[in-house]
Amino acid sequence: MRIVRVEDEFETQWNTARKEAAASFSNDGIYVEKLIEEPRHIEFQIIGDQFGKVAHLSERDCSIQRRHQKLVEEAPSPFMTKSLRKKMGEAAIKAGKAIKYEGLGTVEFLVDKHGHFYFMEMNTRIQVEHPVTEEVIDHDLVKEQIKVAAGHPISGENFEPALHAIECRINAEDPYNNFRPCPGSIHSFHSAKGHGVRVDTHVYAGYKVPPYYDSMIAKLICKAQTREECITKMQRALDEFIIEGIKTTIPFHQQLMKNEHFRSGNFNTGFMDTFKLKEDK
């Protein structure tokens, strides 16, 4: 992505974006879209069946990112209101019905500070962050996806979150070195546990993290009655989560949970531009 703020920069940024696209994807096709200042990244989980019914399963806030890649997701969004959820949910359902969508999918939006929202993209699959939705509506989304594929109809009911859930992506990255990937062998692995604590992972003590794939090695999900309780639970779970042998994003998440702007819900996709990680002592 390249930002153009003045007309004189347009041609240079256009050509740079094309070169980067060609180098990364062997396709230099690009498009222009409106720049949304200080946006939040809010997405809606939808489900559709072969009978034309589409429903939404509430939203996730994915605004804590680095290099446009998500680090933390939560449901519901601390920015959300009932009226905004209704409008965005209706837009997400409309998008699903327009393409006669079947299965689980995610309609992603950028939302400005005034509550105006803009369609960004649709991921036609279940996503990494689906556990936060599962935890707040108490449904197994993988199971629901299989049922839809088998021809079962959905109820068509929209869901609103009854609890609060936060997911921290535990990546094999060095947060003190600009989140540089950190492959290698895991010497010891102790997972966080307890009521309302969930860990989705494939690694173990002795596992060797290869350098060829995405650096995410685990997802730590906590749920509670309120956002404040959920953050407190996540702090405890992060303190208990031990991975030795490689660098991980755990220290970043530990500091994030204590950050006053995150705790107050006052953040957007530019949060990481100003967040300063304190040196580990």
* Cβ-based neighbour number of residue 234 at 10 Å: 28
- Which uninterrupted H or E stretch holds 271? helix 271-274
Q: Are strands 208-209 and 180-181 parallel, antiparallel or unpaired?
A: unpaired
Burial class (CB in 10 A: 0-12, 13-18, 19+), 78: middle
CA atoms of 85 and 59, how far apart (whole Å):
8
SS3 content of the chain, % helix, strand, coil (to 5): 30, 30, 40
* Phi, psi (rounded to 5 degrees) for 56: -110, 150
Contact partners, residue 246, CB within 8 Å, separation at least 6: 172, 182, 183, 184, 185, 186, 209
**Is 125 among the catalytic positions?**
yes
Nearest to 236, CA basis, from 247, 246, 225, 224: 224
Instruction: Catalytic residue, from 125, 180, 198, 263: name it.
Output: 125
DSSP for 227-270 reads HHHHHHHHHHHHHH-EEESS--SHHHHHHHTT-HHHHHT---TT
Q: Are strands 180-181 and 173-174 parallel, antiparallel or unpaired?
A: antiparallel
Catalytic site positions? 125
